[in-house]
Amino acid sequence: MWTIGVLGVTQLRHGDHPVQPTGAVARRFLAALVAAGSRPATDEDLTEAVWGRNRPEHPASALQVAASRLRRALGEEHRQSLRRTGSGYQLWLPAGSTDADVFTQIVGRARQSAAQGRPGEAVAAFAEASRLWRGEPYADLTVGDGLPVGLQIERSRLVALREATAEEAAAALLQVGDAAGAAGELDALTRAAPYREHRWSLLIQALYQAGRQADALEAARRVRTLLAEDLGVDPGPELLHVEQQIRRQDPRLREVQAIRPVRPRSRFLGRDRERALLEQLIAAERLTTIVGPAGVGKTRLAIEVAAQHDLAWLVRLADVTENRHLHAAVATAVGLPTSTLDHDASVLSAMRAHTGLLLLDNCEHLTAVPRFVDQLLTLGPGIRVLATSRKPLGVDGERTLVLDPLRLPEAVALLEDRIRATIPAWHPQPGDQDTLIALATALDGIPLAIELAAAQVRAFSLKDLNRLLDDHFSVLAAVPDGSLTPHPTLREAIAWSIDLLTPAQRTLVLRLWPYEGGFPLEAADGSHAVLAALVAQSVVTADTTGEVTRYRMLEPIRAHCRSIDASPMTSQAAQAVWARELVERNGVHSGPDAMRVLTRELPNIRAALAHDLVVSPRDAVRTAGLLGPFWWRSGLLNEGRTILTAALESASGVLPEDRLRALAAHGGLEYYAGDGARARELVASAVAGADGCRDTLAYGEARLIQSMAEVPSGDATLAQEAARDAGRLGRLTATPWLEAMGDLVGVAADAMTGRCDVARPLLGATADVALEAGERWSAAFGRMLLAQGMMEEEGSSAQVLDLLRWSLREFWEAGDVFHILAVLQNFSVVLAAAGNTGQATALRDTVQEQRLRHNIQVRGTYGGVTTPDTWYTGAGTDGEALSLEGAIALVA
């Protein structure tokens, strides 16, 4: 097994054998790849990390040489671990491959031992972790004036973790009775970081335990003077509390604990509705549980409300790892005599005479809590219980308050407040508001994530923070001392939730993280009970207010699941298969709901296409081709063109029918984008290369697009032939929409030859036939064309308006942005001819604004009025543009 050392100068070992990379460049290249974790490192970041300002003349070639040398050092068996991905390199490493990974794992083990009352094991583990450090992390990466931001974040994360574990190791020494040893460690730590108050608190306690009461008081005096003279502040509640205990020789100091204040130090913002509701529930009910995902602010809201009560006790259950210690934690928090600590019955009996609010924080991991609460409420009539948990307790009479992430305005307000707390002189600059909104949105409105991100504004600009949030953990600071959260990082808060899952629940949640923008019930693949359990435990949220229930995982939870997934590529591949099958089932011609389904699942479709463009380009070609009509109806012309181009360029061995459909779809997109010549070229190439295509329907679709591309300014004969062919193949394959559209476009092609007197009634009759066959979209298309043909002679007649209104309603129902704009453009011409200048202008400006937004060129196609003097060609609008809904309401 490979082991890579980055806690100092870069080292590479295979088993017990050192395999040193040759030269400083090779070591820096390896270190930069490791720092990137599972993410690809771009050529630019690698070049900056390896050479700094002394960039080679040809960076790409120099990186290739470095990569070749590293592969040679890795050996034949492992050389494939280093891959070229897009614009960078990626080193695939199993968990535990670096000494930084090992350090993090050992620290986790040490913390668990300390939390479970095994301080001796904790001391040994902390010492083992400390021995892994050989110097500064990533010591080789010191070239030039700076490092890529991602490398700075990783280095800062490791340094912060080392600093935190140094304090925890000293606390563990205290727990095993080595007060003198702890005092020596803590003296050095306070000198290294004199403003970290928790270190001073531990030092004062260590000195007192070591029998050095005078030295303990002197240490308290020193830190008070230091804070006053250097920072102009008084000691915080923790230090004040310890100093008071020393002066009155509190016997509890002999059992040293990390003392934390109960009251928050930062301002509480937002949550007005939730706070009012919680106060009502506590007043009316005896048991209320706040339920929500990690970091959503359950503890903070509970303490804010509990602090308003005359008598309230806080029991921090995150530190209680076994059911048998529950009663002791409650007794200690309430201040019961030590005689009650030996049995549940003693605690319950002692609580009978008490009146107050008992706050049980972080209940989800202790199965004894529901029974204890049930007994307490029965035996103690003066007790009310407020609990926080990832899931309801399930006790009779329980009322549940589900705490969702902050709404966007509240999230932005919290972000701004916490940034000002970090940099008091900060004020938003022009352009910052959009970045703040993007940050709050990317952090999913989770208060803990927002607070940790705000703490990083000293190191990164707002735009850098926003850009770096692809990895929700590396950019976020550690939880500061004095915070109410029981977890030192957001990662650990989320890991706490995931670790409580059953194997089946964990399997499902790791399968669902690649879904973007949420997922429907069928994505759970029959594991409905397991999905319901994940919702109950606040790992997955469920939105039941829409047409279908929508499930989603908050972004930080997704990021954590991605980081612990042993096979992330397999999970992404499974999501891509699901999205492909969704597109296969929901072609826009498959039913009236198809556009809504595809629009709803567009983030997932995009994720699948991004995966397939790299891993399976042939599948990308097929999916992109099937999506052609969706893209042009929804106005996503540029997106469709970009993906189809990339797919067709990168794929080889594509099935003839898939290539035919993709080329034809690309031609259709070019046509709607206004490039008729390019459209005709692409579709002609598709049809000419259709030999070997076994999909008659795909060929018929291509011929239909070919006929449309020739109307109204192309080859009339080709348009007629292609349309007749499309209609014939529609009948042959029993595909009503293709038959109807072939007939309708054929009639439009006939009009190109001057046969308008025959074409117009035939167009109406053909549209009626389509409607009778249930093809409402095709009927709307035909009636729109009929209205356009009648406009020149009848202007704004009632029949013209009725035809346009009917078509508009159908296109709106189908979510067809392109044809909505086409109809609205026709309306603007009709209204202008009738003298309704104001309404005509508003519609014209609306069409123009939407056209520019979607890159839709209505003029020059069958979908627009082609008379030059009726088409608005200005670069902007007159300022009277409406929303699409407003424009439709205007002409309805």
| Distance from C-alpha of 112 to C-alpha of 105, rounded to nearest angstrom | 11
Please give the C-alpha separations between residue 52 and each of 25, 27, 36, 362, 814, in angstroms, as whole numbers.
Answer: 11, 14, 17, 47, 54
Q: Give the pLDDT confidence of 4-44 residue by residue, as tens digits.
A: 888 888 887 776 666 666 567 878 888 888 877 767 778 88
**pTM score over 0.75:** no
Q: Which of 214-228, 500-514, 758-772 has the lowest mean pLDDT?
A: 758-772
Residue 315 token pair? 């029991």
Nearest to 464 by CA among 156, 150, 159, 157: 150
Q: For 574-770, CATH number?
A: 1.25.40.10
- Would you call 17 helix, strand, or coil by DSSP? strand
**Cβ neighbours, 10 Å, residue 484:** 23
Q: For 501-566, CATH number?
A: 1.10.10
Residue 754 token pair? 């001057």
What residues contact 846, with CB distance under 8 A and at least 6 apart?
Answer: 824, 881, 882, 883, 884, 886, 887
Q: Give the pLDDT confidence of 462-477 residue by residue, as tens digits.
A: 888 888 776 555 666 5
Half-sphere CA count of 269, side-chain side, radius 13 A: 21
The residue behind tokens 């890991």 is 495
Residue 382 token pair? 């003066």
Give the pLDDT confidence score for residue 310 in this predicted structure. 66
Instruction: Produce one character per residue of 542-579: b if its CB has 16 or more CB atoms within 10 Å, e if not.
Output: beeeeeeebbbbbbbbbbbbbbbbeebeebbbbbbebb
Residue 568 token pair? 């992330």
Residue 411 token pair? 């999230």
Give the pLDDT confidence score for residue 681 in this predicted structure. 92
Residue 15 token pair? 């088993």
Is 340 or 840 the better-scoring residue by pLDDT?
A: 840
Is 547 or 609 the better-scoring residue by pLDDT?
A: 609
| Distance from C-alpha of 370 to C-alpha of 826, rounded to nearest angstrom | 67
Give the pLDDT confidence score for residue 872 in this predicted structure. 41
Q: Pseudo-torsion of CA 638, 642, 645, 649, nearest 10°?
A: 170
Give the pLDDT confidence score for residue 260 in this predicted structure. 33
Instruction: Produce one character per residue of 414-428: b if its CB has 16 or more CB atoms within 10 Å, e if not.
Output: bbbbbbbeeeeeeee
| Distance from C-alpha of 37 to C-alpha of 474, rounded to nearest angstrom | 10
Give the pLDDT confidence score for residue 866 in this predicted structure. 39
Give the pLDDT confidence score for residue 540 in this predicted structure. 92
Give the pLDDT confidence score for residue 261 in this predicted structure. 33
Half-sphere CA count of 243, side-chain side, radius 13 A: 18
Q: What sign does the dihedral 39-40-45-50 (CA atoms) show?
A: positive
CATH class for the region spanning 1-171: mainly alpha
Say which amino acid occupies 798. Answer: A
The answer to whether residues 789 and 748 touch, using CB atoms and an 8 Å cutoff, is no
Q: What are phi and psi of 152, to 5 degrees?
A: -60, -40
Give the pLDDT confidence score for residue 421 in this predicted structure. 83
The answer to whether residues 294 and 443 touch, using CB atoms and an 8 Å cutoff, is no
| Distance from C-alpha of 219 to C-alpha of 202, rounded to nearest angstrom | 11
Continuous segment of H or E residues that includes residue 104: helix 99-115
DSSP 8-state code for residue 231: I
Is 782 or 71 the better-scoring residue by pLDDT?
A: 782
Q: Give the pLDDT confidence of 857-888 residue by residue, as tens digits.
A: 654 444 443 333 343 444 334 445 788 888 88
Percent of the chain with pLDDT over 70: 86
Please give the C-alpha separations between residue 423 and each of 417, 456, 459, in angstroms, as whole numbers.
Answer: 10, 10, 11
Q: Give the pLDDT confidence of 197-216 residue by residue, as tens digits.
A: 889 989 998 888 877 888 88
Q: Do 1-171 and 501-566 share a fold? A: yes
pLDDT exceeds 60 at position 831: yes
Angle at 547 between CA 542 and CA 550, to 5 degrees: 25
pLDDT exceeds 60 at position 145: no
The answer to whether residues 376 and 358 touch, using CB atoms and an 8 Å cutoff, is yes
Q: Beta strand pairing status for 17-18 and 2-5?
A: unpaired
| Distance from C-alpha of 872 to C-alpha of 600, rounded to nearest angstrom | 33
Q: Which of 67-71, 366-370, 623-627 has the lowest mean pLDDT?
A: 67-71
Say which amino acid occupies 854. Answer: H
| Distance from C-alpha of 478 to C-alpha of 322, rounded to nearest angstrom | 27
Say which amino acid occupies 418. Answer: R
Instruction: Report the length, in residues, of the chain.
Output: 892
The answer to whether residues 237 and 263 touch, using CB atoms and an 8 Å cutoff, is yes
Q: Which CATH number fits domain 272-402: 3.30.2320.50, 3.40.50.720, 1.10.4190.10, 3.40.50.300?
A: 3.40.50.300
Q: Give the pLDDT confidence of 255-286 residue by residue, as tens digits.
A: 433 323 345 556 788 888 999 999 999 989 99
Give the pLDDT confidence score for residue 864 in this predicted structure. 41
Say which amino acid occupies 300. Answer: R
| Distance from C-alpha of 797 to C-alpha of 227, rounded to nearest angstrom | 84
Residue 175 pLDDT level (bands cut at 50, 70, 90) = confident
Domain assignments of the chain as residue spans, ordered by start: 1-171, 272-402, 408-423+432-491, 501-566, 574-770, 771-892
- Would you call 291 helix, strand, or coil by DSSP? strand
Q: What sign does the dihedral 331-336-338-341 (CA atoms) show?
A: negative
E strand spans, 823-884:
none
